[in-house]
Amino acid sequence: MKKILSVKDLKVHFHLGRSWFKSARVVHAVDGVSFDVFEGETLGIVGESGCGKSSLARALCGLNKITSGSALFNETIELATANKAQWNDVHKQVQFIFQDPVAALDPRMTVAEIIAEPLITLYPQMTSSQVMAKVLATMKLVGLSQNQINRYPQEFSGGQCQRIGIARALILEPKVLICDESVSALDVSIKAQIINLLQDLQQQLKLTIIFISHDLGVIKHICKRILVMYLGNIMELGDKQSVYENALHPYTKALLSAVPVANPELEKAKQIQLLEGDLPSPINPPKGCVFNTRCPQATNECRATRPQTKMVANNLVSCVQIH
């Protein structure tokens, strides 16, 4: 399969500056991740809040600046050093769907203006009639009615606002969609509709999707491969079946143990692996393995040595204890 995105040792750091009582500090939001995204697949990125999922996603579409490392898009554009013209090319092919569907839309703009904005910005040579025709076609594609074109976002439900956000992303006919918790703010029934819509659009438009979520049930339903992050680092990466049926890293096992089971008897018998303590601060991450402060299997080697990602069975794992 063709690699549409190749990420190597990518870091995203935020400098907080100094104050009267504190020296300059650095937030290690993403601290050296490497992975590939293949054309046509859905890659799921999971991990608890603060693990760097959104910072990574935003860096891949230019919303966050890449501190160091490499992110090669479509084997031609290096995102870490891309100029404005190259980013314009990337934005035509990579689009972002935000977590809060209402906050992501300008309340002063109509639906037509919101959906048309990327097209007007990146294709200024298009006539107004061409833009409007494209807007109407895209609205139909995501299940919006033509008579809603002059309404404002506050007149819509959360699910409808997310459809507007999806239409805004799709109007440029991108190759890649980055969905950052794009269904987490929706009701269960609406969430299912949006997930089914994304899957249908992926098949119809041959999209590649990077899907970020806390919900491992959703990830299992929609994704082909799963990347597990913790404190800016990759813990485990593998295909869906390998990760869910044969998880290797202690952190992955802990996450999967907390997923509810539909069968009441199985749910009652299941043991949840509770992790001690809280997520450490990304300003001062632990030495060695970043998970060692909460890992039930941590040794002195874990506290002293930062593990390298290695292939074990069918998964890539970052753990010195797994061979």
Q: What is the mean pLDDT of the chain?
A: 91
Does residue 39 have a pLDDT over 70?
A: yes
Q: What is the pLDDT of residue 251?
A: 93
Q: What are the tens digits of pLDDT across the range 78-97? A: 999 999 999 999 999 999 99
CA dihedral angle for residue 38, residue 44, residue 47, residue 49, rounded to 10 degrees = 110
Please identify which residue in the block is written with the tokens 């554009």: 77
pLDDT tens digit string along 215-263? 888 898 899 999 999 999 999 999 999 999 899 999 999 998 887 776 6
Which of these, 204, 206, 142, 199, lies nearest to 174 by C-alpha position?
206
To 10 degrees, the CA torsion angle through 287, 289, 295, 296?
A: -100
Residues in the chain: 323
pLDDT of residue 297: 87
Q: In this structure, are residues 238 and 314 in contact, taking their beta carbons and an 8 Å threshold? A: yes
Q: How far apart are CA 233 and CA 140, in angstroms?
A: 40
Question: Binning pLDDT at 50, 70 and 90, where does residue 128 land?
Answer: very high
What local confidence, expressed as pLDDT, does residue 266 receive? 62
Beta sheet of 310-312, edge-to-edge order: 94-97, 176-180, 208-212, 42-46, 225-230, 233-239, 315-317, 310-312
CA distance 189 to 221: 15
Bridge partners for 227 per DSSP: 45, 237
What's the CA gap between 208 and 41, in Å, rounded? 5
- pLDDT (0 to 100) of residue 86: 95
Residue 236's beta-bridge partner residues?
228, 317
Angstrom distance (rounded) from CA 64 to CA 295: 30
Which of the four pLDDT bands, split at 50, 70 and 90, describes residue 23? Answer: confident
Q: In whole angstroms, what is the distance from residue 95 CA to residue 198 CA?
A: 13
pLDDT band of residue 184 (cuts 50, 70, 90) is confident
Q: pLDDT for 115-127, tens place per residue?
A: 999 999 999 999 9
Q: Once rounded to an integer, what is the mean pLDDT over residues 126-145?
A: 95
3-state SS, residue 72 = strand
User: 17 or 67: which carries more pLDDT confidence?
Assistant: 67
Record the tokens describing residue 55, joined without a space. 């910072």
Q: Give CA–CA dist 94/224, Å, rounded.
A: 19
> How would you list the strands of the sheet with 68-73, edge to edge?
25-38, 3-17, 68-73, 77-78
pLDDT tens per residue across span 285-312: 999 999 999 998 888 999 998 898 999 9
Higher pLDDT among residues 207 and 220, named by residue: 207
Tell me the two tokens of residue 226.
Answer: 């799963």
Provide the token pair at 320. Answer: 């010195």
Closest by alpha carbon to 309, among 297, 293, 294, 320? 320
Contact between 121 and 95 (Cβ < 8 Å): no
DSSP string, 205-222: HT-EEEEE-S-HHHHHHH
Of residues 273 and 126, more confidence is placed in: 126
Specify the pLDDT at position 12: 96
Report the percentage of the chain scoring pLDDT > 90: 70
